[in-house]
Each structure stands twice: as structure tokens, then as C-alpha cells.
Amino acid sequence: MLFEDYGQKYDNENFEQGTTGEYDFIESELKFNKSLKILDVVCGTGRHSIELTKRGYAITGIDLSESLLQKAREKAKANNLNEIKIKFKHLKSH
């Protein structure tokens, strides 16, 4: 699979850096409604999922790549976010 071995390199990509403005934009679009449940499709290593969870939103992240999801789980754990606060699911392709 295309991104299966990409998990260790993904976080160093240029698009991963300096995304605070993206989080702020998402929150403003959600009107800061923390009662919403958010599905992060193609969540990668959890960049948006983790930060939005830290900001108080209920997030489920899905991705096709198990290696990216494993990295997301590691990052969530490092941020003291357990599976109750944030869920990452592997979406299997057919």
C-alpha cells in the first residue's frame, strides 16, 4: 500500500509544520461547539485529531494506513490522550 511505510517520515513533511492557523480555522467553522462529534477522514498521524481533542472536541480519526495510525496512537499517548478521549480506526480498502 502506498503510505504503509510512510508513518515515520510523515511528521517531517513541510505541510505538517505550523498548522495552528488550521486548528483555529476549524474551530471557528465549528463555532466552538464542543458538543460536536468529529470524524477526521484520512487523519494520517493525527495532527488535527490530537490538537482538536486537546481543545475539548470528541474525535474519531480514520485512515487506510495502519503505520500512520500507529504513529497517531503513539502521539496521542505521548499527549496523555487515551482511547476514551480519541479513537483511531483502520479503514480497510477492498
Residue 25 lies in a domain: no
Residue 12 lies in a domain: no
52-67 pLDDT per residue, tens: 999 999 999 999 989 8
Q: Which of 9-13, 37-41, 85-89 has the lowest mean pLDDT?
A: 9-13
Would you place residue 92 in the very low, low, confident or very high pLDDT band (cuts 50, 70, 90)? confident
Quick one: pLDDT at residue 29?
Answer: 95
On the question of pLDDT at 39 being above 90, the answer is yes
| CATH number for 59 | 3.40.50.150
The grid cell for 48 is 488535527
Residue 43 lies in a domain: yes
Residue 17 lies in a domain: no
Are 32 and 54 in contact, with CB atoms under 8 Å apart?
no
In the chain, the number of structural domains is 1
pTM score > 0.85 for this model? Answer: no
Backbone angles phi, psi at 15, to 5 degrees: -70, -15
Residue 51 lies in a domain: yes
The residues, ordered by sequence, that sit 6+ positions from 1 with a Cβ below 8 Å of its Cβ are: 64, 65, 93
Residue 90 lies in a domain: yes
Q: In which domain, by residue range, is 46 found? A: 33-94
Q: How far apart are CA 14 and CA 61, in angstroms?
A: 21
Would you place residue 13 in the very low, low, confident or very high pLDDT band (cuts 50, 70, 90)? low
CA angle 17, 35, 53 (to 5 degrees): 30
Residue 21 lies in a domain: no
